[in-house]
Structure 1
Amino acid sequence: MQVDSFQTSSRQRGLSATGSIGGIPLPDFNDKYVFSKKKSGISQAEYRQYIREQAYKDFAKGQFQNKSEEFNRLMKQYTSEVSPDRQGIIVSGLKAVSGNRQNVLKPIDILATLLEGEVRYQKLPSGSSEYIEFYDKNGEMVATYSNQGWTMYTTNAEAARQTQMCLIYNEAWGNAKRGIPLAAGETAHVENQYHGFDAKA
């Protein structure tokens, strides 16, 4: 059984239809794979219950892990508990370099320290490409932008969190497959018990 089929070190993501900074289109922060820091107040015990319930629900529908949109939404919420402020880092970083996005006759290299981390920007002479890296306060790269678009990078904390959720989920999904019922006290309906879980995230 797979432990972390959901997990990946990087994902290339689409652009937002809502705005840009300095001519650079923002990533879609509502994308199911774009995680950004968001504390819910849900305890680990509550999360464990929701994950187990989701596994049973998915098994009943013949779905597994990211084939289930409800799993993806729960994964986004669960992971975002430990995510860096990816949205804040990207917005602040783009603002820091936006004044330097013009045609140039020589390469531009910019290193800017942000409240949440760091941004590194490079633009080659006119007609060539530009490239931006975004780092969190731990020095981990969390996103890049180039002429090909946005790529999001999973931090160590996010990867560990995703693996943890998959372990809980896989165990429960396997139990459902074997016909083992959910333990007493873990049978609340998933769709009604997310304590403010944003289904549109």
Structure 2
Amino acid sequence: MRIENSNTFVQSQPLSGNGKMGNVPLPNYDDFHFNTKKTPAMNEEEYREAIIEQAQKDQAAGKFQSDSAGYRNLVKSYVSAVSPDRKNIIARGLTAIFKNSKPQSKTLNLIDYLFGTVKYHKEAADLSYAEFYDSNGEMVASYSNGKWISYGTKAENSRESELWGIYNEAWNNAARASQGKNYGGNADDTMCSMSISV
């Protein structure tokens, strides 16, 4: 499930078991919702063709968007091309947090969290809360009490919206074409006649 929060897509993820830094399990970067920067697998025109082809396959199979593993893989590849390097941002951030031995205030209030003045909270060697930002100042991830949350950047959200537009249009076109075949003609040319007796 994705939810929108301040113009960003947010996805919570349970512990991943892919290694640890300090007491913090690292996120699973292979997960559908937790992107990190990757070299594009195709050029833009090839991506467009692949999205259209996937939509047509999904429509024929009675699937839509995330019901399809092919769709999920395509979204991950397409969006990761503009993703920040979350893996490196988180690794550097956690390294800095665990190197810092300065004591912190034990009392954190709701105002601190709401206005973003708290970047992390650690007692002794146990980290309970941390926020991670990219070079544009956009929060890209947070860790809180055993859960990771990935925040989509403006670039990621825009790219995913582009993909939805291409995919949805192709899926709808395939559905209309399929309906036309079922009725023995073009779906747009279907006529209905009715006679009324008085």
| TM-score of the two chains, using structure 2 as the length reference | 0.74
Alignment CA distance shift 1:61-1:6 (3 Å): farther
**Structure 1 unmatched ranges of 5 or more:** 110-118, 181-201
Distance 1:18 1:36 in 2: 15
Distance 1:51 1:15 in 2: 31
Q: How big is the alpha-carbon RMSD for the aligned residues of Structure 1 and Structure 2? A: 2.7
Alignment CA distance shift 1:92-1:86 (3 Å): same
Alignment CA distance shift 1:130-1:100 (3 Å): farther
Are 1:132 and 2:130 matched, yes or no?
Answer: yes
**Structure 2 unmatched ranges of 5 or more:** 109-117, 179-198
Residue in structure 2 matched with residue 32 of structure 1 by the alignment = 32
Q: Which amino acid aligns with 2:159?
A: R
Residue in structure 2 matched with residue 81 of structure 1 by the alignment = 81
Query: Given that residues 54 and 70 in structure 2 are in contact (C-alpha distance below 8 angstroms), is that contact kept between their aligned partners in structure 1?
Result: yes
Query: Given that residues 16 and 26 in structure 2 are in contact (C-alpha distance below 8 angstroms), is that contact kept between their aligned partners in structure 1?
Result: yes
Whichever of the two has the greater Rg, that structure is 2
| TM-score of the two chains, using structure 1 as the length reference | 0.73
Query: What SS does the aligned partner of 1:48 have?
Result: helix
Q: Which has the higher contact order (CA 8 A, sep 6+)?
A: 1
Distance 1:17 1:121 in 2: 21
Distance 1:58 1:101 in 2: 53
Residue in structure 1 matched with residue 20 of structure 2 by the alignment = 20
Q: Which runs of 4+ in 1 moved over 2 A?
A: 5-8, 99-102, 104-109
Deviation of 1:148 after TM superposition, in Å, equals: 4.3
- Give me the identity figure in percent: 43
Query: Given that residues 136 and 142 in structure 1 are in contact (C-alpha distance below 8 angstroms), is that contact kept between their aligned partners in structure 2?
Result: yes
Distance 1:76 1:33 in 2: 8
Alignment CA distance shift 1:12-1:41 (3 Å): closer
Are 1:47 and 2:47 matched, yes or no?
Answer: yes
Q: Which amino acid aligns with 2:134?
A: D
Distance 1:85 1:31 in 2: 15
Query: Given that residues 6 and 65 in structure 1 are in contact (C-alpha distance below 8 angstroms), is that contact kept between their aligned partners in structure 2?
Result: no
Q: Which amino acid aligns with 1:157?
A: A
Aligned length: 164
